[in-house]
Structure 1
Amino acid sequence: MYKLLRLILLALLPMQAVNANEMTMRIVGGNPVGQNAWPSVVAIKTTRDGQVLCGGNLIHPMWVLTAGHCIKGEAEGLYYEYGTPDLVIFSGATGLDSPNGRHMQIQRIVVHPNYNMSNGANDVALLMLSAPLEGATMPVYADNPAPGTPATVVGWGARTAKANNGYPGNYPRQMEQVTVPIVPNEVCNAPNSYGGKIQSSMLCAGYPQGGRDACVGDSGGPLMVQQNGVYRQIGIVSQGEGCAMAGKYGIYTRVASYAGWIQQFAPPPYAQAPVAQASDPRANYPGGAGTLNITWLGFLALLLCLVKKYRFRSQPQGI
């Protein structure tokens, strides 16, 4: 059902064959991103072997937004669940081998209380970092973009829908991105697509002919649209049948449906920053642009005093 986690697939392959039609997710048909692209996007790695498990997006200096199935679920009939000691956040670089990358510990994991492992409903989770991450944050989009709106999804997931072994493969070391249009839920629910399985809290994106999609390893990563020159997150890579298959659009968690829940942990201005503030990433954490420095406060106070003094001296006596 899910854009399954690469680690789980690899762990289960020796035990039993994986259904090639299992619902999974990755970047197929995309391109590598630049070195400084998407500074809010992070990789979620396992502490066991350092492999990329999922993607995520920094929506607050302390909180990463990702998918619930990146934390717990069922794969091939086996239950899995990760705790804070099992995961680490990689940020600050689009290349997994970059010396600029930084690893951050996680102190808390919050999976949506109504997350349904069987059908992927409410597939959303938040990871609380052990310390604030001084980097660009991305506001979530608390509205629903119109069908046809171009949206970009990024990640380090598989680039090939079926490798030599019949499973997704060709995992990059450099983050990749692909742009796909938003698809109406009624189109995604058509008999030749998902036949009514798409709920209102889910969002579809892709092309009817396939060819471009997210894939295994991209789970939890952000789907983003541009608004007034600022990118906002509208979706979370969740599930889909196969990778980039015709009529099988990528299925994302619709972030707008969970804005209230997200803000319980990552309150404004982080989770829903105004466009004017979000246009400068430094405005999204204390001490960045948009924070009034005490030195300037003192200067302004002095200036006001001088203006006031000059004004009263220049007035005619007796007034």
Structure 2
Amino acid sequence: MRTLTVARLVISALLPAACAQPTESGSREEGGEERSAIVGADARADNTRTAVVSLDGGCSGTIVRRSADGDKVYVLTAAHCCLSPPKKVLIGPDFLEPSRTLDVDDDSARIHPCYNVFNHDYDVCVVTASGAGDLDVTPIPLASAPDDVTVGSAVTVVGYGGTPAQNSIRRRVEARVSEVEPLTIVIDQTNAQGGVCYGDSGGPALIQQNGVEVVAGVSSFVARSNFCDASGALARVAFAGVRNEFLEKVLAGEASTLEHRLIVRGGVTPGQVRDTYIASDQPDQSFGERVDLLVGTPRGTDAVRRALLRFDLASVPRRATLLTARVGLGVASTSGPGAISVHRVERDWDESESWASFAGDWFDPIPVAVTGNVKAIVKEGGLLSFDVTRLVLDWLRGKTENYGILLRSDDREQIRLFASDLPSSLRPWMRLCYLPKAP
């Protein structure tokens, strides 16, 4: 494998260790998504972690549990590896010469109900394989909460990712955590640090808990880079919506009760989603019928553009226990790096709004989220994605009125986003994951 590193998360110009935007043909993952391979100057062959397996030679996975009689093994992998369900579990340090091959049970793939193909939230899946009664493999258990993973923590990533030499060997490397979110652990792969690359999808990120090695993360995606030298993202196992409400239930033979809701404009009228932008240099002009949303300041000017969006939550059960809420917008172009802040709007509005009519700064100056608009993340054709869980919780509980959100940037750069007047695949969305009734 090449001496490289993991990629950064935050927005989905990051491609999963097999990812949402097709790049490399011939990978096992759905749509030819990118595969990730263990990289870094210190990457080494791993001959001891027998529970880390290959799925069809295209994705990696971890045996995390066995059935009571020992005949069945449960393999944790990435959800995007199950979009086209794997057929074989290849056991051994080299998947081209496996010491044992198990057939994946028909229809056994269980993808997390809230898996988001747009930004790869909840990128976890479990498959089962029978006939393992005499298999000499000890499962690696799941990390429990709190996992105590923080910025600067070390994790060991393991996988069968490919290289120019067509690697088929299980490899490991120590990686350094650069960012931690409820759903995701991000590892820094710059400067030849260790991490994941194409082909390691579904493989584990391992830590120690009480002296036992456990699975803290599942290799999900890497920042768009031919060399995997930006950052890598791992689905976080200890998050309650992953372990408690999905993995433990699936491993016990139960169905998860989690539900998801995608809110996106369904037709040509605002309906579930309103969006527009306002411009200080055109104070009386409304832009509700435009196909784009502008945020920031065009270079060489003092003009200010701010975007307004509102997602209708009427379809979400009022007694739901919300786990996560995220908003995503497609990126058409950016003039340069900058930060975008997300604010709660404090009065009602419609798509005829203008800078003059919105006078008075009708938004909370304290942002609910701040995200970068470039780095290795948001590029032309990328996805700007941010977490609004706390704000949506307040809306659902009636603490504040849902007047939507405002996007602004003070970095004298401009980002152009896709609006809801474009085809449905490009429209802004909000995706929620929840339990339908409070316990």
2:143 to 120, 141, 148: 141
1:311 maps to which residue? Answer: none
Residues 23/130 of structure 1: CA separation in 2 closer, same or farther (3 Å cut) = closer
| Equivalent residues of 2:102, 2:132 under 8 A apart | no
SS of 2:198's equivalent? coil
What is the TM-score normalised by the length of structure 2?
A: 0.45
Structure 1 residue 64 corresponds to structure 2 residue 63: no
1:41 to 22, 40, 52: 52
Q: Relative to 1, partners in 2 of residues 1:218 and 1:229: Cα closer, same or farther, differing over 3 Å?
A: same
Q: Whole-Å Cα distance in 2 between the matches of residues 250 and 69 of structure 1? A: 15
Counterparts of 1:127-166 in structure 2, within 5 Å, are 127-132=127-132, 134=135, 135-142=137-144, 143-144=146-147, 145-159=149-163
> Match for 2:90: what amino acid?
F
> Using the alignment, how far apart are the partners of 1:227 and 1:96 within structure 2?
29
Q: Is the 1:3–1:219 Cα contact (8 Å) retained in structure 2? A: yes
**Tell me, what secondary structure is at the counterpart of 1:172?**
coil
- Does 2:233 correspond to 1:233? no
Q: Which residue of 2 aligns with 1:95?
A: 94
Deviation at 1:249, TM superposition (A): 1.7
- Cα distance change, pair 244–34 in 1 and its aligned pair in 2 (3 A): same
Q: Distance in 2 between matches of 1:244 and 1:254?
A: 24
The structure that is strand-richer by fraction is 2
Gapped runs of 5+ residues in structure 1?
Answer: 46-51, 73-81, 160-168, 186-198, 269-319
Q: Where do 1:161-200 residues align within 5 Å? A: 169-185=164-180, 200=182
Cα deviation, 1:61-118, whole Å, max 9, x if unaligned, reads: 231100001122xxxxxxxxx24xx521111x11224462333333311001111111
Separation in 2, partners of 1:98, 1:245:
27
SS of residue in 1 equivalent to 2:58: strand
SS of the residue aligned with 2:213? Answer: strand
1:317 maps to: none
Q: Distance in 1 between matches of 2:167 and 2:185?
A: 26
User: Contact conserved, 1:88 with 1:103, CA < 8 A, in 2?
Assistant: yes
Q: CA deviation at 1:244?
A: 5.9
Deviation of the 1:128 alpha carbon? 1.6
Maintained 8 Å contact 1:224/1:232: yes
Q: TM-score, normalised by structure 1?
A: 0.61
Q: Which residue of 1 aligns with 2:17?
A: 3
Q: Is the 8 A contact 2:93 2:169 kept in 1?
A: yes
Amino acid at match of 2:65: H
CA contact (8 A) 2:175 2:193 kept: no
**Residues 243 and 259 of structure 1: is their aligned pair in 2 closer, same or farther, counting only changes over 3 Å?**
farther
State yes or no: 1:263 paired with 2:245. Answer: no
User: Which residue matches 1:219?
Assistant: 201
In the alignment, the residues of structure 1 paired with residue 110 and residue 46 of structure 2 have an alpha-carbon distance, to the nearest angstrom, of 31
Could you say which structure has the greater relative contact order, defined with CA pairs below 8 angstroms and 6 or more residues apart? 1
Write the distance in 2 (CA, Å) between the matches of 1:173 and 1:24.
Answer: 13
Q: Give distance in 1, aligned partners of 2:193 and 2:235.
A: 21
Q: Which amino acid aligns with 2:18?
A: L
Change (3 A) 1:98 1:238: same
> Residue deviations 1:262-303, cap 9 Å, x none?
0002249xxxxxxxxxxxxxxxxxxxxxxxxxxxxxxxxxxx
Distance in 1 between residues matched to 2:35 and 2:95, nearest whole Å: 22
Alignment partner of 1:264: what SS? helix
> Offset at 1:8?
7.9
1:123 and 2:123 aligned: yes
Q: Match for 1:38: what amino acid?
A: R
CA distance in 1, matches of 2:227, 2:130: 36
Residue number in structure 2 paired with 1:104: 103
The answer to which structure has the higher helix fraction is 1
For the residues of structure 2 that align with 1:66 and 1:109, how far apart are their CA atoms?
10
Partner SS, residue 88 of structure 2: strand
Deviation at 1:252, TM superposition (A): 0.5
Identity %: 22
Alpha-carbon RMSD across the aligned residues, in angstroms, is 2.9
Question: Residue 163 of structure 1 corresponds to which residue in structure 2?
Answer: none
